[in-house]
Structure 1
Amino acid sequence: MNSLRRAFLAGMIALPVASCSAESRTAGPDLPQTAPNGAQDPRAAAYERNLYQVAQGGRYFTWYGCGSCHGGNARGALNLSDRPWLHGGDLDQVYGFIADRHPGAQPGYAARIPTEQLWQITAYVRNLPRLTPERRRRQDLDQVGEPQGSNWSGPVR
């Protein structure tokens, strides 16, 4: 085997290993089964620093109809693109408000949305202040054909 072919094969093997960790996807027992255990929960990095998880959170934000109140034109407490937030902006505070204390959901969304999706939505919401209006509009356009709000009944449990 010549050296050029060997180098090519080595590169093809190394490429998947060196792929972007900011978009890594996890499936299995390491997915969260519980709510965050404080503002510094070590599991947060796997969601907030992962583009895939944040994007999934944006998808669920749309699917569950959050954008109907918290869309790009929301004002006051409904505007999630600004800070500080009325109910706190720490990871556990945002998650807890979405899951248990949201005034539009009785019972709380934790009764209807799986834990991992709540983590993803929380990561997305906490990233909203960093999203430019153009990027948020692009995401909204990308999701036009997907189920939204009342058209989405949630995952089958």
Structure 2
Amino acid sequence: MTHTRRRSPRSRVLAPSAALLVLALAGCSGRPSVTVPTPSPEAAGYCGRLHEELPGTVDGLERNDPSPDSDLTAGWGDGAIVLRCGVPRPARMDDSQSRAVDADGVNWLLEQREDGPRFTTTYRKAYVEVTLGSQYAHDITPLSAFAGPVGRTVPDSL
């Protein structure tokens, strides 16, 4: 004999509400979520050293690392600036029409996106990607904060 347990009208309302509350609280951490790269062991070593050298503030924004916690990612503001180290080599690097910028001796591939520019280091033993929010659509100033740390920790590949 199968017994079916009836839910009270109150439990039918409260159970979904409790689930929504848990989901809402999880999403309100103030930390953006990013995909953590999976670099080679050699690149991961460079990235670990870079992580230790990264600044506490960039362009007036306090460090606020994304989730999940990783030595391969860092962030400033509420996702306004996100760095990922050990990303794959962008296919755009093979395009002769690609644009690059130099920020204090570090060369970056520029990719314009709707939600803001993305920059990836070139000629380095590990690829470092920095995404900037749309407020930086025409501003590479934040890249200056990464030139010293990248230059000291991620060797040239040439």
- Do Structure 1 and Structure 2 share a fold, with TM-score over 0.5? no
Query: Normalization by structure 1: what TM-score?
Result: 0.28
Query: Normalization by structure 2: what TM-score?
Result: 0.28
Structure possessing the higher radius of gyration over alpha carbons:
2
Identify the structure with the greater strand proportion. 2
